[in-house]
Amino acid sequence: MIKVLFFGRLRELLNCSEIQIDDFELGSVANLRVLLAKKGPKWAEFIEGNNALVAVNQDMVDESSQIKTGDEVAFFPPVTGG
Amino acid sequence: MINVQEADFDLNKQYTMLRAKDNTDGAIVTFIGLVRDFNQGHDVTGLFLEHYPAMTQKSLEKISDRAKKRFNVNQLDIIHRVGQLNLGDQIVYVGVSSPHREEAFSCAQFVMDFLKKEAPFWKKETRKQHNKDVWVETNQKDKEALKKWQ
């Protein structure tokens, strides 16, 4: 099981702040994107747009990073703090 | 000291905290970021600051650690506010004490440049008509600001 969180504009676009994926087989961030894209047109749009940054366990990572059971993955738009 | 909070902060208190440590510092640099009107429009009333609570503190700590390794500074404090803020409100504070001013200036700049690129905060402009709230976009200047630290 992994937990996937969404923030900012992305959370609103998907109308979703958090999902759990029970059957995610071990794979990379890129694999997870492919899986999420299948959930509908808006999901595909954010995956294909490739505008979402990714953090695994609260650290920014790249597409090749491996995700393991129990991880917390977060997708979010470019940050605008400060 | 790193704080993510809804409450406002007081520069005088922060400055006193930076000074109190010892007498080895010859320079203190403080930076405060304010909520400005991004849209130059009349119906903008403020900002809502969303963040990723589990990651925010961790992200700022990483930036702070990197800055302390790179610059000769004795103290580095960061405060970032979240939640509903009005135009003109204080939003972020960076305070640095160092033996020398160059290091203090550079360290504060470094922290702000990385904060604006890596710390998980998102601004949403709130307007008089709430159904028109708009997410603030990143700008190219912020993206390129990190180049000077490579």
pLDDT digits (tens, 9 = 90+) for B30-55: 999 999 876 666 678 889 999 999 99
Instruction: Give the pLDDT of residue B40.
Output: 61
Which residue of chain B has the CA closest to A5? B52
Nearest CB neighbour to B121, from listed A9, A74, A81: A81
Using the Cβ of A9 and the Cβ atoms of chain B, whether some distance falls under 8 Å is answered with: yes
3-state secondary structure of B56: helix
Indicate the domain borders of chain A. Answer: 2-76
| CA B38 from centre of chain | 17
Share of chain B above pLDDT 70, in %: 95
Domain CATH number, residue B12: 3.90.1170.40
* Residues B140, B150: Cα–Cα separation, whole Å: 17
Using the Cβ of A76 and the Cβ atoms of chain B, whether some distance falls under 8 Å is answered with: yes
Residue B110: its H or E element: helix B101-118
Cβ-Cβ contacts under 8 Å between A and B: the total is: 69
Name the nearest CA neighbour of B133 among B51, B47, B73.
B47
Nearest CB neighbour to B123, from listed A72, A76, A80: A80
Q: Would you say residue B22 has pLDDT above 80?
A: no
Name the nearest CA neighbour of B8 among B73, B87, B66, B89.
B89
Q: What is the mean pLDDT of each run of 10 residues along chain A (82 residues)?
A: 94 94 84 91 82 92 92 95 93
Q: What is the three-state SS of A12-80?
A: HHHCCCEEEECCCCCEEHHHHHHHHHCCCHHHHHHHHHCCCEEEECCEECCCCCEECCCCEEEEECCCC
- B123: chain A residues, CB-CB within 8 Å: 80-81
Q: Domains in chain B: how many in total?
A: 1
Instruction: Give the pLDDT of residue B146.
Output: 87
Using the Cβ of B51 and the Cβ atoms of chain A, whether some distance falls under 8 Å is answered with: yes
- Weakest-pLDDT range from A24-28, B41-45, B64-68, B113-117: B41-45
Instruction: Give the pLDDT of residue B143.
Output: 75
What CATH number has the domain spanning A2-76? 3.10.20.30
Q: Would you say residue B124 has pLDDT above 80?
A: yes
Nearest CB neighbour to B122, from listed A60, A72, A80: A80
| CA B68 from centre of chain | 16
In a domain, B141, yes or no: no
Q: Mind telling me how many Å the CA of B61 is from chain A's nearest CA?
A: 12
A 27-56: CB under 8 A from B: 55
Range of the domain at B107: 2-130
- A56: chain B residues, CB-CB within 8 Å: none
Contact B121 A80 (CB under 8 A): yes
In a domain, B139, yes or no: no
Interstrand relation of A18-21 and A66-67 (parallel, antiparallel or unpaired): unpaired
- Phi-psi category of residue B38: left, alpha or beta, with phi > 0 → left and psi -120 to 50 → alpha: alpha
Give all strands of the β-sheet with B2-5 in edge-to-edge order: B2-5, B75-81, B90-98, B27-34
- A59: chain B residues, CB-CB within 8 Å: 55, 58
Q: Would you say residue B111 has pLDDT above 90?
A: yes
In a domain, B52, yes or no: yes
* Residues B77, B127: Cα–Cα separation, whole Å: 32
Q: Within 13 A of A73's CA, how many CA atoms are on the CB side?
A: 29
Please state the ipTM of this predicted complex.
0.91
